[in-house]
Amino acid sequence: MRHAFQVLLAAMLLTSALLAQRAAKHEILKPDFHTSDRCLACHNGLTNSSGQDVSIGFNWRASIMANSSRDPYWQASVRREDIDHPESKAEIEDACADCHMPMDRYRAKLKGKLGEVFAHIPFDEDPKNNGDAEDGVTCSVCHQIGKGNFGKRESFNGGFEIETPPAQNDHPEFGPFGIQDGQARIMQTSTGGFRPTAAAHIRDSALCATCHTLYTKSLGPGGKFLGFFPEQVPYLEWQHSDYPQKNSCQSCHMPEVEGQVQIAAVMGEPRVGMHQHTFTGGNFFVLRMLNKHSNELSVSALPAELTAEAERTTTFLQTQAARVTIRNVSAVSSKLTADVLVENLTGHKLPTAFPSRRAWLHVVIRDRDGKTVFESGALNPDGSIKGNVNDLDASQFEPHFREITNPDQVEIYEPILKDSESHVTTGLAAAIGYAKDNRLLPSGFNKESADKDIAVIGDAADDPDFTAGSDLVRYSVNIANAQGPIQMDAELCYQPIGFRWAHNLAPYHASELQRFVEYYDSMPQASAIVLARASANSSTN
């Protein structure tokens, strides 16, 4: 593995030298970038017909995209991988910088170097020093990506291709709208050569897939290469659903502005179909963390902007992610039976992306006086789930349940990673695959024909009630001599960062890891929200 990596690095250096020689002879032009401050002046101060602020710059500034390099969980996770695999440190940081510090990493790539992470952190107050790295997933990266390798394996893992400029000081920055020559020249002049260019591919889901499809290198002792495992593949999940005929990534995660709106404050004619740059997703918790510790994390967004983004994300999840229904409630003698149907309303698995995410059913049954006679899946004060064996013991995990019969059983929709010895792990480079993956499937998803990289793993694969778009869980529980009417409440809860994923970082003494665990422990109840809930009643016989 080490020899192969040295050969790859030598090839990159040689390629870079050749590119430099050609550039010197004006045979080839290199891509270039600019930081977001060159964009914000013209793409702020925008309102829709109702007077709502839809400023591109302000919305982006508070998003996870803009703060990808400041994310304290990401920083802690990268440091953990460095410590676990010291011989592969340079390669690990390069792989992690490709999508979290894409501008700086792409510049390094053009020079035949590897991207770095901790060479830039903590960020300096002078943006000239680390501005490219600190700017996260910035405007100038996404809007210069060409479509040449879209949807192909080589485009994944941050393998996007930045369009080569046709001439000096003429770097195309793609958008969905045609721009008049006079307006284009204003931007080209003010940004030092970046020209707005109409291109439909900016709304293609494959654009998002370049960074949101990650195959992680599995590493053994001494950095031995063991293969790849699909760490995050929401694009592939989406492709295997019926959503490609209904919704793109952008249509859900960049909601369209109603009516006409200017896309630029300077000479911008109103357009129909502008999409907001909020990038609402699944990580309300890190947004809250960035807000609470903004000074320590060098966050430039204002507190009100981060609060609004966290609220938008929470609302998005609670209105568009899932639905819960209780069916067939029957209480006979001392036993209650009921079916809880959980539906996934998203276009990919729920939850998807980074494997620290989990959703679970919290079910409470009460008698006529409101006394709890059964409960499964309660959230403990420290952010762990009561009854979940994985939160108590890092080596174990909760199975997929078709039927819940006692309070210590919890239906948790989650990915559980395994290493080369089949031990449960939260180390990404140590993982070779999944011991369990019963995340809720999107509609149209055929689990029998699914590729191994998006397969259902564990008992859910054979569960006839775990199918495209939903899962049906039977509750058969003892309610003793409870007097009716009996009330049953079911909630689908969600955490972006599960308790085990946070607390497996605690044994490490590096500052980034200790800082994150401290942050996590200071706001455990804020780590979870309820996505959907339902209630039902039944009399006793």
What distance in Å separates the CA atoms of residue 261 and residue 259, rounded to the nearest whole number?
Answer: 7
Task: Average the pLDDT over each of 234-248, 265-279, 487-501 and give the range with the smallest value.
Answer: 265-279
pLDDT at 49: 87
pLDDT at 24: 44
**pLDDT over 90, % of the chain:** 87
Is 80 exceeded by the pLDDT of residue 339?
A: yes
3-state SS track over 104-133: HHHHHHHCCCCCCCCCCCCCCCCHHHHHHH
Residue 29: pLDDT band (50, 70, 90) is confident
Q: At what angle do helices 127-134 and 102-110 cross, to 10 degrees?
A: 100
pLDDT at 363: 98
**pLDDT over 70, % of the chain:** 94
The average confidence (pLDDT) of the chain is 93
- Please state whether the predicted TM-score (pTM) of the whole model is above 0.85: yes
pLDDT in tens, 211-266: 999 999 999 999 999 999 999 999 999 999 999 999 999 999 999 999 999 999 88
pLDDT at 538: 87
- Tokens matching residue 79: 């440091």
Is 60 exceeded by the pLDDT of residue 5?
A: no
306: nearest Cα among 54, 530, 58, 40 = 58
C-alpha distances (whole Å) from 234 to each of 95, 213, 430, 441 are 19, 7, 21, 11
pLDDT in tens, 135-163: 999 999 999 999 999 999 999 999 999 99
| Contact indicator for 314, 529 with CB cutoff of 8 Å | yes
Is 90 exceeded by the pLDDT of residue 333?
A: no
- Helices and strands (DSSP H and E) totals, the chain: 17, 19
C-alpha distances (whole Å) from 180 to each of 55, 110, 201, 302, 471 are 21, 32, 19, 34, 51
What distance in Å separates the CA atoms of residue 247 and residue 235, rounded to the nearest whole number?
Answer: 12
372 phi and psi, to 5 degrees? -75, 125
251: nearest Cα among 173, 148, 155, 346 = 346
Task: Average the pLDDT over each of 26-40, 84-98, 368-382, 466-480 and give the range with the smallest value.
Answer: 26-40
| Contact indicator for 340, 404 with CB cutoff of 8 Å | no
DSSP letters spanning 385-404: BTT-HHHH-TT--PPP-SEE
Is 50 exceeded by the pLDDT of residue 23?
A: no
pLDDT in tens, 32-48: 999 999 999 899 999 99
Query: For the chain, which residues make up each domain, given as ranges?
Result: 2-302, 315-538
pLDDT at 28: 62
314: nearest Cα among 501, 490, 527, 520 = 527
What distance in Å separates the CA atoms of residue 93 and residue 81, rounded to the nearest whole number?
Answer: 9
What distance in Å separates the CA atoms of residue 39 and residue 191, rounded to the nearest whole number?
Answer: 8
Mean of pLDDT values over 282-303: 97
The distance between the two most distant Cα atoms of the chain, rounded to a whole number of Å, is 90
Residue 267: pLDDT band (50, 70, 90) is low
Angle at 235 between CA 414 and CA 246, to 5 degrees: 105
Mean of pLDDT values over 114-131: 89
